[in-house]
């Protein structure tokens, strides 16, 4: 066989073997390991985002505390707003307490804090491969590709025909 033929045979063998091996490995690892990995990675990202939000809130509170320490009148104003007390100053008009934009923002924050589906970040191909019949088909097709690679494209045959002497009696 020529060198070009051997090279083509080698490349086809490597391709079939790599694709078959990858298919088998994916079928073995898709259900417990890969799905758990993607879900834990999503939970980690959500925890990091929540930690960043908490850091921002802590920074806001620290700045408010510093402002209150510098200016005590701010504490009285915050007390009125927080405890919903009506101010006692005469001849002053005060706006209503209800703010529709603030209520909408509060609804958004509540909706964002609800737990999300952990399977959202799983890719579509992995969602299909989770089903047992698809996993079995993926494993069997990978095994078939590996068998084809070994049967038809493995190394050249080195078997020589040995001539056996034929004895006449």
156 vs 78, residue with greater confidence: 78
Taking the complete model, does pTM exceed 0.85, yes or no? no
The least confident of 30-39, 142-151, 154-163 is 154-163
4 vs 74, residue with greater confidence: 4
| Residue 168 pLDDT | 67
144/132 Cα distance (integer angstroms):
18
| Residue 120 pLDDT | 67
Residue-wise pLDDT tens digits, 93-119: 665 555 666 667 667 777 776 666 656
Average pLDDT for the chain:
79
56 vs 89, residue with greater confidence: 56
125/107 Cα distance (integer angstroms):
34
Task: Transcribe the chain into DSSP letters.
Answer: --HHHHHHHHHHHHHHHHHHHHHHHHHHHIIIIIHHHHHHHHHHHHHHHHHHHHHHHHHHHHHHHHHHHH-HHHHHHHHHHHHTPPP--TT-----S--HHHHHHHHHHHHHHSPPPTTTTS-HHHHHHHSHHHHHHHHHHHHHHHHHHHHHHSSPP---PPPPPPPP-
72/70 Cα distance (integer angstroms):
7
Q: Which long-range contacts (CB under 8 A, 24 or more apart) does 45-51 make?
A: 46/116
Mean pLDDT in residue range 151-162: 65
Residue-wise pLDDT tens digits, 55-88: 888 888 888 888 888 887 877 777 777 776 666 6
pLDDT band at 18 (very low <50, low <70, confident <90, very high): very high
160 vs 36, residue with greater confidence: 36
pLDDT at 167 over 60: yes
Burial of 30 (0-12, 13-18, 19+ CB in 10 A): buried
């Amino acid at each position: 066989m020529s060198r070009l033929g051997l090279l083509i045979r080698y490349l086809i063998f490597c391709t079939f073997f790599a694709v078959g091996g990858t298919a088998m490995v994916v079928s073995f690892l898709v259900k417990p390991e890969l799905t758990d990995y993607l879900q834990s990675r999503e939970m980690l990202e959500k925890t990091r985002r929540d930690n960043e939000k908490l850091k921002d809130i802590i920074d806001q509170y620290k700045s408010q505390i510093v402002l209150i320490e510098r200016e005590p009148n701010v504490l009285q104003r915050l007390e009125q707003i927080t405890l919903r007390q009506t101010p006692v100053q005469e001849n002053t008009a005060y706006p209503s307490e209800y703010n529709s934009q603030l209520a909408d923002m509060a609804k958004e924050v509540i909706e964002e804090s609800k737990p999300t589906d952990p399977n959202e970040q799983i890719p579509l191909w992995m969602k299909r491969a989770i089903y047992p019949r698809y996993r079995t088909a993926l494993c069997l097709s990978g095994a078939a590709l590996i068998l084809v690679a070994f049967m038809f494209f493995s190394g050249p045959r080195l078997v020589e025909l040995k001539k056996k002497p034929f004895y006449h009696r």
